[in-house]
Structure 1
Amino acid sequence: MSALNFQNARIVLADEVLEGSLSTDNGLIAALDAGNGTIGEDFEGDYLVPGLVELHTDHLENHYHPRPKVFWNATAALQAHDAQVASSGITTVFDAVRIGSDADASYNLGEHVEILVDTIRAAKADDRLRADHFIHLRCELATADALEHFETYCDLDVVQLASLMDHTPGQRQFVTMDLYYAYYQGKTGRSDEEMKRFIAARIADQQEFSEANRRGIVSRGHANGLTLASHDDATQEHVDEAMRDGVRIAEFPTTREAAEGARNAGLSILMGAPNVVRGKSHSGNISATELARDGLLDVLSSDYVPFSLMHAAFELPQRVEGMELPQAINMVSKNPANAAGLTDRGEIAIGKRADFARVTMRGGVPIVRSVWRQGKRII
């Protein structure tokens, strides 16, 4: 792999912005210099930021299942997703796939999870993808077959992360039934009576399956060396449970109480970048920007809009007094990489992977000009 040289760049390091040049060798960052001692591609003062690291995105599902009853060719769907991810400056992505059947789905979910997992593995082996893809097992605990499905996939080398989820009505993501009704009745068109039956069934499932699934998934996950995340923690009790289970990441805490508990417990706190861009949560929960102002935010995830990751990183310093760009960029690169145990990437530093993007600002919204992964241009 040939060496690359870049000059006249505003290089976003972990703790400062260096105006200078960068060189790569054999897919790694080999040199950093202030000024323009190294002659190479001229960035013309644009930012050179580390390749972004995305830990939780459901975006692949949008390409694979774009309409009711429509399932796209899985390879084509993955390539479309990958192209959008990479063009957003994301060079490492954890694609979330659901573990545990959806009682409300009109199709065999397990069959489609198998298709997506096999497609990601095959595409990586065939060098089809721009970004480096891993799999995040999104484990729905209150389902009859969550542990069975987890056992099917947890040994695969592409699986590096698992989250413990419970979307039972009236807790965690939707801490009040009013919010739950407003969201799901609007989404499904169910009558009040249909909603009552649906909710009763989901609560019964939780009581029957959740605890046993949690114990089995936590035990096997640790045995396999997976990073574990809690999801939608709302109370100190939820945080305490996460600590007992050896969780490292608190995904999308829904309340200040849970975020403060996660900080005190030493967990990495992950929030949604769309929450930052929009200025609020789509489900009425705590604001990510508010948590950032109070030092209660470590990692951002694009969740359902890939470009929101870069957008939010450049937006936060404008909204949070005292926050500089390197700190915000760390939330989408270094911090998520470290939280997932990927210590070879996530920052611009000598010896790290040459994963980075050229970014310019215009009209308050960043533009991703070019992207490199391991020293190879992918956009």
Structure 2
Amino acid sequence: MSGQGSDIILQRMMSLHPKIIDLTLDRVWRLLARLGHPERDLPPVIHIAGTNGKGSVQAMIRAGLEASGARVHAYTSPHLARFHERIRLAGRLIEEEALREVLDECERANAGAPITYFEITTCAALLAFARTPADYTLLEVGLGGRLDATNVVERPRLTVITPVDLDHQQYLGETLAEIAGEKAGIIKRGVPSIVGRQHDEALEVIEARAERLGARVCAYGQHWHVAEEHGRMVFQDERGLIDLPLPNLIGRHQVENAGIALAALRELGLGERECEAAVTRAEWPARLQRLRHGPLVEAAGAAELWLDGGHNPAAGVALAEALSRLPAKPLQLVCGMLRTKDAAGYMRPLAALAEALHAVEIAGEAATLSAEETAAAARSVGLAARVAASPAEAVARIAAEAPGARILICGSLYLAGQILRENG
């Protein structure tokens, strides 16, 4: 072992990135072979792809499985406050010593060859999972599916595809059908697949691939249904109907995310007790999260302070719907976004709800939009906008000018991570 901290090793791994970005599994297969193919020694895998909702669905599946007494590995990205969040070993975040050990081993096995940060850290996660006893492994796709670094398990126990929408078009294709084809690349021969609500053209692609591979599809609207009724959530599939509390994660979209998780748990043979735990015990930060402690909350004074990491047009729609269901208060947005995202498309659904947007840069992110560019995107959809030097400055300004407001910091998971770190 190098004896160096994980932060130093991770920083060094950034420099290995290939000069040309190409989605391929060749680099991953090469490294996994040098590591002794840990992907072949994982506990049963549930592989999750989709555009929106992957993290929430994974959190709910994990809560349900853990309620059954199962030990669950989980892999997710990106992290918010620290890298360790990406790797959960048998229910606990990976400890520094264990993380340092697998990162160091992967770095030595890779021997300086070109590889992306996500690829080499995914290999490290698989190595950690293979060496720690557990009952299930939850793998969340990073980008796409077909050529994602997580797509190396020959026969998972289950695949899950959350709603597919437009995002990452520069890598995945310009149409919903093309993007759905990439997401559907996780479907494996003979392995059942749980599919959330989809646009028709996306569902056609997913079902066609599943049919070619003899993979049974369990799809929203066909094989299972979920709805909010009288302040409760009702889920029904071929096994019957269950009446549950609403998800503790806020927003109508979380009801459909919960439906996907419940369909997966029922496919695994779990019962109503585990399903209730899935919707009431799941924790997933920066998904319309109310911040209640810390220096930013103190700076907000009498104003409410909320945080959300959604960053594409579909996320904007879901966020607007969730906000509209909260008790009425004047809404002020503090927003920072990456230039790889459709900023105007994200903001458009929020424009009718917010009184103003305070644009900020995302500190430390090379791909951040400038505050001026973010403000211009807001004005293009009819949203009054000002720039601020930092989220803290924006929050303090809102607290002084609109003390009864609801402040939402939003636009990027990277911004959300910065807020969680700075706010303790």
TM-score over 0.5 (shorter chain) = no
| Structure that is richer in strand per residue | 1
Higher relative contact order (CA 8 A, sep 6+): 1
| Structure that is richer in helix per residue | 2
* TM-score normalised according to structure 2 size: 0.29
